[in-house]
């Protein structure tokens, strides 16, 4: 008797779950399950993927927003950063523009934002407080997600266009920054007095995560025995995060569609295997991970 995918993973019948091709999702899952959890790695975006998009009807902050809204930034600085957001965010999520057209504008946005942050002379010792006082929240079910992956020694690679120092602090304060978690993001560079003087390395923005992935192929080398990937993102730019994985066998892509649902739904269904619409939990990723580790 053939198993129905919703019998394998009942959470996939939640009303927030959309799949263009449930049969294909079932085949990928069965193939990954057969290969065993020691062949699995998780590659995920951070802001609005591992963190909540909104809570009690109010938007939750991204890593950049945590800084923007903190005591570390002057009132004038906050105004300027808000103007940048209002200018460039609509472009980022505009489904009528091609990624090629958006690229230079995203670079422009991130570069201007980082220059503004450097001018603010942010102190390293203020970051933990800024995170603690912020409204940032990991999605419901995060504890199970991070703990279970750690328990099964499954690597979690987080690619983020946010700020690595803030991101790490969010996970750290949630008590789930386990040794199997590796972060690729924009990290701050502080001078000897602990004041922000620059950002390190290549800029990672929402549409160049592929380059981030390829720049870090050394890290993927270590993961060659893990050709099965669970990829999680909330933008179409996140789909290239696994491009550094060599000899990939299976990839299951879960997309969180948080905003502008009607106009973006089709493009998400065309690109992601599972689309979660306005779902603030990690219930589906958790159910998938539990299934793949034989804990279902």
**b/e map of 19-48 (b: 16 or more CB within 10 Å)?**
beebeebbebbeebbebebebbbbbbbbbb
Domain that holds residue 99: 54-133
Q: Check whether residue 166 and residue 250 sit in a common domain.
A: yes
- Residue 43 tokens, joined: 């590659």
Closest listed residue to residue 178, CA positions, set 204, 158, 200: 158
Q: Are residues 91 and 128 in the same domain?
A: yes
Q: 10 Å Cβ neighbour count for 248? A: 15
d(C-alpha 238, C-alpha 54), whole Å: 20
Question: Which pLDDT tens digits describe the chain residue by residue (296 residues)?
Answer: 356 888 889 999 999 999 999 999 999 999 999 999 999 999 999 999 999 999 999 999 999 999 988 999 999 999 999 999 999 989 988 888 888 899 899 999 999 999 999 999 999 999 999 999 999 999 999 999 999 999 999 999 999 999 999 999 999 999 999 999 999 999 999 999 999 999 998 888 877 777 666 666 566 667 788 999 999 999 998 998 998 888 899 999 999 999 989 999 999 999 999 999 999 999 999 999 999 999 75
Same domain, 148 and 234: yes
User: Which CATH number characterizes residue 42's domain?
Assistant: 3.40.50.1000
Residues 6+ apart with CB under 8 A from 92: 102, 106, 109, 206, 235
- Rounded CA gap, 103 and 286, in Å? 33
Catalytic residue list: 45, 47
Q: Residue 122: its pLDDT value, please? A: 95
Number of domains forming the structure of the chain = 2
Residue 1: predicted pLDDT = 39
Of the three residues 100, 133, 166, the one that is the final residue of a domain is 133
Same domain, 149 and 251: yes
The answer to whether residues 168 and 115 belong to one domain is no
Is 165 found in the same domain as 60?
no
Residue ending a domain, among 104, 133, 162, is: 133
Residues 182 and 245 in one domain: yes
- Residues 6 or more apart whose Cβ sits within 8 Å of residue 294: 33, 37
Same domain? 204 vs 259 = yes
Give the residues across from 204 on adjacent strands. Answer: none
Whole-angstrom Cα Rg for the chain: 19
Dist CA 55 CA 76 (whole Å): 27
φ and ψ at 195, to 5 degrees?
A: -110, 135
Greatest CA span in the chain, whole angstroms? 67
pLDDT at 208 (0 to 100): 78
Helix and strand numbers, DSSP H then E, in the chain = 12, 11
**53 is written with which tokens?**
């998009």
In this structure, the answer to whether residues 167 and 23 fall within a common structural domain is yes
DSSP helix/strand/coil, 7: helix
Query: What's 89's domain CATH number?
Result: 1.10.150.340
Which residues make Cβ contacts (< 8 Å) with residue 19, sequence separation at least 6? 12, 25, 269, 273, 274, 275
* End-of-domain residue from the set 80, 110, 133: 133
Q: Are 95 and 122 found together in one domain? A: yes
Same domain (yes/no): 107, 40: no
β-pairing verdict for 40-44 and 156-163: parallel
Residue 162 and residue 87 share a domain: no
């Amino acid at each position: 008797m053939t198993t129905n995918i919703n019998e394998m993973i009942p959470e996939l019948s939640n009303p927030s779950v959309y799949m263009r091709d449930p049969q294909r999702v079932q085949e990928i899952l069965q193939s990954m399950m057969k290969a065993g959890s020691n062949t699995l790695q998780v590659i995920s975006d951070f802001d609005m993927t591992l963190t909540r998009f909104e809570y009690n009807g109010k938007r939750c902050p991204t890593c950049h927003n945590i800084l923007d809204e903190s005591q570390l930034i002057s009132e004038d600085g906050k105004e300027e950063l808000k103007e940048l957001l209002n200018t460039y965010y609509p472009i980022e999520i505009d489904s009528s523009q091609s990624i090629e057209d958006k690229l230079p504008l995203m670079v422009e946005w991130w570069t201007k934002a980082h220059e503004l942050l450097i001018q603010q002379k942010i102190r390293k010792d203020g970051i933990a407080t800024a995170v603690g006082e912020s409204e940032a929240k990991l999605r419901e079910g995060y504890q199970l997600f991070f703990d279970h992956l750690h328990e099964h020694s499954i690597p979690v690679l987080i690619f983020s266009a946010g700020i690595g120092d803030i991101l790490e602090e969010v996970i750290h304060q949630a008590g789930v920054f386990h040794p199997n978690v590796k972060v690729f993001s924009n990290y701050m560079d502080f001078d000897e007095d602990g004041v922000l003087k620059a950002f390190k390395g290549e800029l990672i923005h929402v549409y160049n995560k592929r380059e981030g992935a390829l720049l870090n192929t050394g890290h993927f080398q270590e993961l060659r025995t893990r050709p099965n990937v669970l990829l999680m993102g909330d933008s179409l730019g996140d789909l290239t995060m696994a491009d550094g994985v060599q000899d990939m066998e299976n990839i299951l892509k879960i997309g969180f569609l948080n905003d502008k649902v009607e106009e973006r739904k089709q493009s998400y269904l065309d690109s992601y295997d599972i689309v979660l619409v306005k779902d603030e939990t990690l219930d589906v990723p958790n159910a998938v991970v539990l299934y793949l580790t034989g804990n279902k």
